[in-house]
Amino acid sequence: MKKGEFIILSILKKYTIILKNIMDVLRKPSRRKILKTGIASLAAAVVIKPEANAAVIPKAPGETKIVAFMGGDYGHNSIPYEMHIRSIFASKKDWRIIFVHASRFFTPELLRDTDLLITSRHSRPDDIGWRPEGLSDYMEKGELLWNDENVKAIIDNVRNRGMGFMAVHNTLASRNNEIVDLLDIEPIPHKQIQPLWVRDLNQNHPITKDIGNFYINLDEQFAAVIKSNNTTTLFETTAMHDKGVAVGGWCLESGKGRIVGLLPGHFQWAYRVPEYQEIFWRSAHWAMKRDIPPYPG
């Protein structure tokens, strides 16, 4: 049986069961009330689709809206990313953090009133497409985040509206020239996965001031070559095995907006390091042009 035929049969079976349940309850007392409830349930079952999860709710007055798309492919597990990032910002009760779980749900409309965008996403489409069902016996590839429409919206919101942008880890591997230009860098691919020292933190910038060298027990050492004097280096990394030295963090103003690039973060271990948590906290505030309170972690 082909995949499409299986899906159609599964849907028909599902709604046949629902209709049978409604007919069963109609044979019992309080038929009118039950009929109303049963039809409402059926309508909900028919209407609720994956797209409903992507409804864009307008930002409430005084609310800070953050959109994050982290991982979601073979080598980058989005679950621990989300858990740790939500934990870092847990004290900010007026911050609404929306995690995008598939590229199909990332739209220009979503960014229209976003205060801060955080991405950690490479150039390829989602390794697995959106699958709302709890059980699945098939797998198909998803969509591409860095399409022309999304890229244009990101750049427009940063430069013309003042949205903050945190480009984390493999965002520099988007292979999109416009995004790379926005970040003001030339990307250098990583080599082996290995421990990293984060060092030479910029003591003159509020994101890294008074933070000393620290260690990440396992990561990918992406590197950034900064292209202009408009961009500030925040820190460098040294790879423990191959001894490579690279720029690992930077920031810049771009039009009305601010951008922070942070390259550590292949595994969840980076987000468990207190110093990196504080850098993440400070970066979010700086990118949104907010005062930076002490990190409560």
Render each residue's pLDDT in the chain as its tens digit; 297 residues.
Answer: 444 454 444 444 444 544 454 445 444 444 344 344 444 444 444 433 445 455 678 899 999 999 999 998 888 999 999 999 999 999 999 999 999 999 999 999 999 999 999 999 999 999 998 888 889 888 889 999 999 999 999 999 999 999 999 999 999 999 999 999 999 999 999 999 999 999 999 999 999 999 999 999 999 999 999 999 999 999 999 999 999 999 999 999 999 999 999 999 999 999 999 999 999 999 999 999 999 999 998
Q: Report pLDDT for 100.
A: 96
Q: Report pLDDT for 54.
A: 55
Residue 262, SS3 per DSSP: strand
Q: Which string of DSSP letters, residue by residue, matches 148-178?
A: HHHHHHHHHIIIII--EEEEEGGGGGS--HH
Q: Report pLDDT for 226.
A: 97
Contacts 24+ apart (CB under 8 A), 179-184: 179/146, 179/151, 179/154, 179/155, 182/154, 182/155, 182/158, 182/254, 182/259, 183/224, 183/259, 183/261, 184/226, 184/227, 184/228, 184/230, 184/231, 184/250, 184/252, 184/254, 184/259
Looking at residue 102, its amino acid is A
Residue 259, SS3 per DSSP: strand
Q: Report pLDDT for 76.
A: 92
Q: Report pLDDT for 50.
A: 43
Looking at residue 131, its amino acid is R
Q: Report pLDDT for 34.
A: 36
Q: Under a CB-based contact definition with an 8 Å cutoff, are residues 158 and 289 in contact? A: no
Q: Report pLDDT for 10.
A: 47
Residue in the block written with tokens 């989602």? 126
Q: Report pLDDT for 173.
A: 96
Q: Report pLDDT for 291.
A: 98
